[in-house]
A and B are shown apart, each in its own frame.
Chain A
Amino acid sequence: MTPFVFLALLQDGLATGAIYLLLAVGLLIAFSVTRVIFVPQGDLLALATLTAAQLESGQVPGTLWVLDALAALALLLDLARLRGRMRWRALLPWALYPAAVTLAALFGPRAAPWFAKLLALGVITPLGPLIWRFAFRPVADAPVLTLLILATALHFVVAGVGMVAFGPDGASVAPLVAATLLLGPFAVSGQSLAILLCCAALVLALRFFFAATLTGRALRAAASDRLGARLVGIDAAGSGSRAFALAAFIAALSGILIGAATPIAYDAGFEIGLKGFVAAIIGGLASYPAAAAGAVLVGVLESLGSFWSSAYRDVIVFALLIPVLAWLSWRSRGAGGA
């Protein structure tokens, strides 16, 4: 392997690692607030790529109708539940937001790459709270394993939606930055830089959100002690909904970033999501910095691994879990007798 090849692989690995980092952060947010291991996150990523790609080609994506249908169902159920005592402020988001997105998709300049990407974010993000609303909220207090099995079932459902809406073929989106930066003899792709920048910006924004805003601090409270948060008046179901919105937004953002480099098919998201898991597990499902290091490690290993042997690429990445889990297990030996 020449130094140039190595640097090119490293650059690829860092960009993919940044995506895995985003996914790991989304998983950690969802898990720490709701105890749900958000398996369908990868599938939402694929839906975002496919939605943006279809918008860029001038079509109206099927996911828009899925959003409208789910939001309408949520609205109807809430109306039925509230009956006489109308609380319009609580109901309005489910009515106004999908309507606005639908109008923008039908009459806006949807083929413009930037508009298509924003719109894809707008379509996929609310699917997070809707998934929470329909799948998890009714069993929010169930054991972690029940939630995990439920999330696994949702993976097939979301992937099935992708299959019906977009068919089996993959699609890619226009890159955010098409230019290539030449550093001497070495080419740095603008898209890789854009991915790293987006990732850094999102991490900083999340830091600000969790440290300085009331909503963010309430989410942190709900994550560290659910009962305690409820006792001081933090709405647990609302926290879950917001956590899922964040996770879905992160998935959608990852989808429109990664979709410029590789074509993504409806069933490609699951594996990408799993690599986010590997990163999150390296962080012990608790620590953000450790998850970040894990994500970069997974991205770089995968990139280098695909150079040596593309067939064993995934085996290398998942085999990485084994020493990590062994170490986590060994470390937790001291804590408590059991």
Chain B
Amino acid sequence: MMLPAYYVTLAGYIGLATIVALGLVLLTGIAGQTSFGQASFAGLAAYATALLPGTPPPLALLAGLVLTGSVAWLLGLITARLSGHFLALCSVAWGISFSALFGTLPWLHGFNGIGGIRPLTLGPLSAADPLVTVAVIWAAVALSWLALRNLLDSRPGRAIRTLAAARDMAESMGIDTVRLSRATFVLAALAAALSGFLFAHFQRFISPTPFSLTASIEYLFMVIIGGAAHLPGALLGAVLVTLLREELTDWIPRLTGATGNFEAVAFSLVVIVLLQRAPGGLFAVLRARLPAAGAPVRAAAAAPAHAAAPPPAAGPAPPALVVAGISKRFGGLAANQDVSFTVGAAEIVALIGPNGAGKSTLFDIISGQLRADLGEVRLFGHPVGRLPARHIAARGLARTFQHVKLLPGMSVGGNIALGAHLAGRCGVLRAMLRADRAEERRLHALAAAAATRVGLADLLGRPAGTLALGQQRLVEIARALCLAPRLLLLDEPAAGLRHQEKQALAALLRQLRAEGVAVLLVEHDMGFVMDLADRVVVMEFGRRIAEGVPAAVQADPAVLEAYLGGAP
């Protein structure tokens, strides 16, 4: 009976590592951040339960979670507005400080550690039998997995997926990316804390060693080796690294005759080769070999035609948008100089001008991505020049981007539903508990309705990255419609569309106007612009050079000069 005991212990360690790795998949593979402090987060919870010997385990677990969550929240708060590698470096400093502190503080018994921790009990099942604790560990693995899977398939989950590469876009959909990335960091830390709590009761002895910086890095390596972008990668990495370490610690000293952290060297070499050759990890390699097993194609469940109807404007409405004296410089380049114009409620205004005239800069200023040096932007009568993009989005402005900003791996439906973020309220906790289904159905119905309006209803299940560029622009428009905007900013919406698609788009924009939506669009297709727009604003070298109805602008000598380089 020696062998089974060995395997039971090994299974326990694999489970414990999997829980930490699951959190890291969320943090690193999906949200594009990383942490070198996961082992020390586990350590906090482990010490918490060890130092509360008389406390019932659930309370001790709660204490550990609260403690770890608070520390992670503080670390996230400190680095909130810095780019991701600062959080990573901060977590290095935290990890080292943790080991140094816990190795020296006398009341923590330093490197002698704390022993005699009670095993967990499950009702009548005394856990003197390690099998019971291992069962508890794997139950925790299953629950964490389920919770994270639920989370990833939800409103906050979609938003988390924007954190890695599309934060600007997310902000203009009304998503608070700073808060969300801190929440993600805390969630990953809580997973580590759960693992640390179980570790203490499984091993029944703790010291600072298993919570060192090296251990944190090893968790990170697990995730890179297994595959950081998908939950199964966590399990794969935990199994491989734990088993290999068992083998290597046996074999390497025999081969080299030296002691040292050689298994870390071996894992490092594997990590280097994988990052160069297969950044998706072994899971991605395996999945590419296997036949596509049930790709998550969510059919558009016949959505009720629940159009994103804007609230009708009552009484003498203020203009949708007033741009007054906007100037913006980038070093020596004046991108916008004293630009002013208005967009009335239910009016389509086109902003045209040669490349480099400052149109996209102006869009970024209006939508809150950039801040103007001088001048004022008023949205429906309220100044918004100092508001962040997500607050402007909440006030009824939606936009698309000149360079399409979609999540290429996410379905078209998911991408569009990002625009419905502000129409929902369910947070991380309700998403993990699956208590968000009614709201999810409502958001997906909104997305399906928007897709129908732009003519993409058949493509909801397709990954957005597989669409033609013109269709990707339509996805962006549908996403913007989900915000139920009262002002729509479209940056080159017709680029890449075929003739019929352009006509359909023009019809859609006219219909939106009839519903009371104001539209400001940048577009180079003059036929499209002149047919559609009520008024045209022309920019050149950052200045407004003309404004008026299409026919007047077409005859304006300054415009002809700008476009044709000299009066005919």
Determine if B541 is an interface residue (Cβ-Cβ < 8 Å): no
Residues in B neighbouring A160, C-beta threshold 8 A: 260-262, 264-265, 268
* A145→B78 contact, CB < 8 A: no
Determine if A144 is an interface residue (Cβ-Cβ < 8 Å): yes
CB distance from A126 to the nearest CB of B (A): 19
Known: A146-B275, A152-B217, A337-B371. A168 touches B260 (CB 8 A): yes
CA distance A332 to B264 in the complex (A): 37
* A145→B28 contact, CB < 8 A: yes
Identify which of A145, A148, A312 contacts B104 (C-beta below 8 A): A312
Residues in A neighbouring B390, C-beta threshold 8 A: 337
Residues in A neighbouring B168, C-beta threshold 8 A: 338
CA distance A330 to B80 in the complex (A): 9
Determine if B540 is an interface residue (Cβ-Cβ < 8 Å): no
Determine if A37 is an interface residue (Cβ-Cβ < 8 Å): yes
* A325→B34 contact, CB < 8 A: no
A-binding segment of B86-94, B290-298, B332-340, B549-557:
B86-94
Main secondary structure of the interface of B (DSSP, over half): helix
* A164→B93 contact, CB < 8 A: no
Determine if A322 is an interface residue (Cβ-Cβ < 8 Å): yes
Determine if A321 is an interface residue (Cβ-Cβ < 8 Å): yes
* A338→B177 contact, CB < 8 A: yes
* A150→B90 contact, CB < 8 A: no
* B92→A274 contact, CB < 8 A: yes
* B84→A144 contact, CB < 8 A: yes
Determine if A328 is an interface residue (Cβ-Cβ < 8 Å): yes
Residues in A neighbouring B90, C-beta threshold 8 A: 321-322, 325
Determine if B79 is an interface residue (Cβ-Cβ < 8 Å): yes
CA distance A148 to B271 in the complex (A): 12
* B264→A156 contact, CB < 8 A: yes
Determine if A154 is an interface residue (Cβ-Cβ < 8 Å): yes
* B34→A318 contact, CB < 8 A: no
Residues in B neighbouring A153, C-beta threshold 8 A: 221, 267-269, 271-272, 275
- Minimal Cβ-Cβ distance residue in A for B110: A311
Residues in B neighbouring A333, C-beta threshold 8 A: 81
* A145→B34 contact, CB < 8 A: yes
* A145→B85 contact, CB < 8 A: yes
* A326→B78 contact, CB < 8 A: yes
CA distance A143 to B224 in the complex (A): 14
* B96→A337 contact, CB < 8 A: no
CA distance A93 to B262 in the complex (A): 32
* A145→B88 contact, CB < 8 A: yes
CA distance A138 to B274 in the complex (A): 12
CB distance from B57 to the nearest CB of A (A): 30
Known: A153-B271, A329-B81. A281 touches B265 (CB 8 A): no
Residues in A neighbouring B256, C-beta threshold 8 A: 164
Q: What range describes how many residues of A lie at the interface?
A: 35 or more
* A338→B388 contact, CB < 8 A: yes
Known: A311-B100, A325-B90, A329-B79. A149 touches B33 (CB 8 A): no
CA distance A319 to B277 in the complex (A): 37
CA distance A28 to B214 in the complex (A): 24
* B171→A338 contact, CB < 8 A: yes
* B96→A314 contact, CB < 8 A: yes
Determine if A163 is an interface residue (Cβ-Cβ < 8 Å): yes
Known: A135-B272, A281-B89. A337 touches B79 (CB 8 A): no
CA distance A221 to B471 in the complex (A): 38
Known: A139-B276, A315-B100. A37 touches B85 (CB 8 A): yes
Interface residues of A in 154-205 (CB under 8 A from B): 154-157, 159-160, 163-164, 167-168
* A325→B86 contact, CB < 8 A: yes
CA distance A130 to B105 in the complex (A): 43
CB distance from A176 to the nearest CB of B (A): 31
* B78→A148 contact, CB < 8 A: no
CA distance A54 to B118 in the complex (A): 51
Residues in B neighbouring A144, C-beta threshold 8 A: 83-85
CA distance A312 to B99 in the complex (A): 11
Determine if A84 is an interface residue (Cβ-Cβ < 8 Å): no
Determine if A19 is an interface residue (Cβ-Cβ < 8 Å): no
CA distance A281 to B92 in the complex (A): 12
Determine if A45 is an interface residue (Cβ-Cβ < 8 Å): no
CB distance from B204 to the nearest CB of A (A): 27
* B97→A167 contact, CB < 8 A: no
Residues in B neighbouring A143, C-beta threshold 8 A: 32
Query: 1/0 contact trace for B234-264 toward A, CB 8 Å?
Result: 0000000000000000000000101111101
Residues in A neighbouring B85, C-beta threshold 8 A: 37, 144-145, 148
* B389→A338 contact, CB < 8 A: yes
Residues in A neighbouring B101, C-beta threshold 8 A: 312, 315
Determine if B438 is an interface residue (Cβ-Cβ < 8 Å): no
Determine if A250 is an interface residue (Cβ-Cβ < 8 Å): no
Residues in A neighbouring B210, C-beta threshold 8 A: none
Residues in B neighbouring A301, C-beta threshold 8 A: none
Determine if A260 is an interface residue (Cβ-Cβ < 8 Å): no
Known: A156-B268, A315-B101. A336 touches B369 (CB 8 A): yes
CB distance from B398 to the nearest CB of A (A): 16
Identify which of A156, A159, A164, A318 contacts B96 (C-beta below 8 A): A318
Residues in A neighbouring B167, C-beta threshold 8 A: 338
Interface residues of B in 156-212 (CB under 8 A from A): 167-168, 171, 177-178
Residues in A neighbouring B368, C-beta threshold 8 A: 337
- Minimal Cβ-Cβ distance residue in B for A328: B82
CB distance from A71 to the nearest CB of B (A): 19
Determine if B418 is an interface residue (Cβ-Cβ < 8 Å): no
Determine if A142 is an interface residue (Cβ-Cβ < 8 Å): yes
Identify which of B100, B265, B389 contacts A337 (C-beta below 8 A): B389
Residues in A neighbouring B387, C-beta threshold 8 A: 337
Identify which of B33, B171, B275 contacts A150 (C-beta below 8 A): B275
CA distance A142 to B217 in the complex (A): 20
CB distance from B273 to the nearest CB of A (A): 10
CB distance from B207 to the nearest CB of A (A): 16
Residues in B neighbouring A37, C-beta threshold 8 A: 85, 89
Known: A145-B28, A149-B220, A321-B93. A332 touches B81 (CB 8 A): yes
Known: A144-B85, A150-B275. A157 touches B268 (CB 8 A): yes
CA distance A44 to B105 in the complex (A): 32
CA distance A221 to B90 in the complex (A): 29
CA distance A157 to B217 in the complex (A): 13
CB distance from B234 to the nearest CB of A (A): 16
CA distance A328 to B85 in the complex (A): 13
Residues in A neighbouring B371, C-beta threshold 8 A: 336-337
* B86→A314 contact, CB < 8 A: no
Residues in B neighbouring A325, C-beta threshold 8 A: 78-79, 82, 86, 90
Query: 1/0 contact trace for B270-308 toward A, CB 8 Å?
Result: 011001100100000000000000000000000000000
* A318→B86 contact, CB < 8 A: no
Q: Counting chain B CB atoms within 10 Å of each CB, which of A145, A277, A333 scores highest?
A: A145
Determine if B370 is an interface residue (Cβ-Cβ < 8 Å): yes
* A146→B279 contact, CB < 8 A: yes
Query: 1/0 contact trace for B385-413 toward A, CB 8 Å?
Result: 00111100000000000000000000000
CA distance A141 to B220 in the complex (A): 21
Determine if A278 is an interface residue (Cβ-Cβ < 8 Å): yes
Query: 1/0 contact trace for B52-83 toward A, CB 8 Å?
Result: 00000000000000000000000000111111
Contact residues of A with B, CB < 8 Å?
A: 37, 135, 138-139, 142-146, 148-150, 152-157, 159-160, 163-164, 167-168, 271, 274, 277-278, 281, 311-312, 314-315, 318-319, 321-322, 325-326, 328-330, 332-333, 336-338
Since A315-B101, A329-B78, A337-B388 are in contact, a sample of 12 more A-B pairs with Cβ atoms closer than 8 Å, ordered by chain A residue number, is A37-B85, A135-B272, A159-B261, A160-B261, A160-B265, A163-B258, A163-B261, A318-B94, A336-B371, A337-B369, A337-B387, A337-B390
Q: What are 25 A-B contacts with C-beta separation under 8 Å?
A: A139-B276, A142-B275, A143-B32, A144-B83, A144-B85, A149-B220, A152-B220, A153-B272, A160-B265, A163-B262, A167-B258, A168-B260, A271-B96, A274-B96, A277-B92, A312-B100, A315-B101, A319-B93, A322-B93, A325-B82, A329-B80, A329-B86, A330-B81, A332-B82, A337-B387
Can you list the 6 inter-chain pairs with the closest CB atoms, starting with the nearest?
Answer: A337-B388, A160-B265, A153-B268, A318-B93, A156-B268, A311-B104
